[in-house]
Amino acid sequence: IGCTSLTTVGNIGGGKFLNDTFNGCTSLTTVGSISSYTTSMERTFDNCTALTGDITINANLTQYAQCFQGTTQPGATLIALKLYL
């Protein structure tokens, strides 16, 4: 939690629980797709204030509270989600 040097994450294919995985990664700007294997993403991108672009979520999520809380700043480019539930 709270990494500052990570800027890009490719496709995420193996994690069933991504809870808090990138929480507070303030330099993270780009994320690939999330696989269908993932079921829980609570606080996964919480406070990733630099996050922009498209994130494709192919997952069958059962838990996703606060997944994108605090991700955008006033005037920032919004995140475009593509959900396949």
Confidence of residue 28 (pLDDT cuts 50, 70, 90): very high
Six-digit token pair at 3? 């990494």
Contacts of 56 (CB under 8 A, 6+ apart): 32, 33, 34, 81, 82, 84
pTM value?
0.83
**Once rounded to an integer, what is the mean pLDDT over residues 50-72?**
85
**Once rounded to an integer, what is the mean pLDDT over residues 26-47?**
91
Residue 11: the pLDDT is: 92
Residue 61: the pLDDT is: 86
